[in-house]
Amino acid sequence: MKLQRIAQTIIASLLMMPAISLASPVDDLIAQKAAAIEGKVIAWRHHLHANPELSNREFETAAYVEKHLRSLGLEVQTGVAITGVVAVLDSGKPGPTVALRADMDGLPVKEVNDLPYKSTKTAEFEGNIVPVMHACGHDTHVAMLMGAAEILTGMKDELHGKVKFIFQPAEEGAPRGERGGAEVMVEEGVLKNPDVDAIFGLHISANTDVGKVRYRHGGIMAAVDPFKIVVKGKQAHGAYPWKSVDPVTTSAQIIMGLQTIVSRELRLLDDAAVVSIGSIHGGNRSNIIPMEVEMVGTIRTLNEKARKHMYEAVPRKAKAIAESMRAEVEVTLPLDYSYPITYNDHDLVDQMVPTLVRTAGEDNVIYSEAVTGAEDFSYFQKEVPGLYMWIGGKPLNVSVEDSPAHHTPEFYVDDEGMQLGVKLLTNLTLDYMLKNMEKNQ
């Protein structure tokens, strides 16, 4: 695996080298256009940041996006996967269809940053009123795609084919009892009519310097598979444990046993994986051994071989341990939702690396390690070749150690990072069209 990574890095470096001399004649024009609308992109982002909405409830966000797209003269479809917005730009000339995606939802997090556009919004979440914040940067994603749509619409004569702008709800997961996000958009035909040939997406990173872009061949973000384990035993007085079948000690054994799947069953050189228990509930008194314990957790894997092994091993391990403790166990896997591996198509990456280098500068393009976070952009990539990347949002005067993590009340990204995102989405579209003009002739 280490040799494979070295080889991929060398190949990526070789791909970058000729890009320096392949400057597109429209590069300067795109840079000028991105700079000219930067103020608008920032204003859009500030509005969205101050008015976040939770998954499947992005009604005002969708209306805001729709108004902008219609002002550009685009054909717009609303209500896709509940609140999704999709627009198509047709150049009138034959060529491929390129899709660009941005996610729209916020999180049930209370913002603590002292910003003029700080969120003070609240919403209902699982029966409770909670604060809402764009604690993962989706507000920047929407603003950047709105900017790219404006530039590309103004450059219609330079295009060969069609562009599909996808503003997606519920990336963070639909509310309990609902479905949503990329999976539902795909089911509803978002990649059809016209058929998409390639899709590009990006995520701003609070831990990557402004001006940088990170990419990777193959698995760049993990598959996510939540699960639930219910251990059933026999209730007894805590003073007489021999009269019980203790689901608490059984659960403790199961939790530790699950860790041995990763440490003792997977070839860690090739099959990085994580299994974590995030919640455990059982009993209500100190002196009563309960009848039942419920725990929920998550599995993260970076290739399909490891993912299949985890699906087989978690129930096997839990049931065997429970049997040894005279308890019964029920395993639900996946629990409610699951995302595939966010997998960058190798050929598409090779084809588009020169665009990344030319747009950001050779020193600003980083071949990245994979991460165990997850993204439902993976559902689009299961259907068509896709490239997903991270762009920097960390101010240069802030260290990585001091930059706040995503999904936290302190989350912050610099507005300056968005101009690169606008340029990347625009250049990737134009370059892919030029390199694949024979498609849909």
- Return the active site residues: 105, 171
Give the strand order in the sheet containing 273-282: 273-282, 292-301, 223-232, 328-332
Distance in angstroms (rounded) separating the CA atoms of residues 92 and 87:
15
Do residues 375 and 340 make contact, with C-beta atoms less than 8 angstroms apart? no
Q: Which amino acid belongs to residue 177?
A: G
Distance in angstroms (rounded) separating the CA atoms of residues 365 and 212:
6
For strands 273-282 and 292-301, give the pairing: antiparallel
Distance in angstroms (rounded) separating the CA atoms of residues 253 and 251:
5
The token pair that represents 296 in the structure block: 């929920």
Do residues 300 and 274 make contact, with C-beta atoms less than 8 angstroms apart? yes
User: 136 phi and psi, to 5 degrees?
Assistant: -135, 5
Helices (H), 265-394: 304-324, 346-360, 378-383
Do residues 329 and 362 make contact, with C-beta atoms less than 8 angstroms apart? no
**Between vectors from CA 34 to CA 33 and to CA 36, what angle results, nearest 5°?**
60
Task: For residue 102, give the nearest of 239, 208, 199 by alpha carbon.
Answer: 199
Distance in angstroms (rounded) separating the CA atoms of residues 151 and 89:
11
Task: For residue 398, give the nearest of 209, 118, 214 by alpha carbon.
Answer: 209
Distance in angstroms (rounded) separating the CA atoms of residues 305 and 374:
17
CA end-to-end span of the chain: 41
Distance in angstroms (rounded) separating the CA atoms of residues 170 and 47:
19
Give the number of other CB atoms < 10 A from CB of residue 47.
16
Distance in angstroms (rounded) separating the CA atoms of residues 287 and 241:
10
Task: For residue 181, give the nearest of 84, 301, 309, 272 by alpha carbon.
Answer: 84
Q: Which amino acid belongs to residue 57?
A: R
The token pair that represents 397 in the structure block: 């005067």
- Count each helix (H run) and each strand (E run) in the chain, helices first: 11, 18
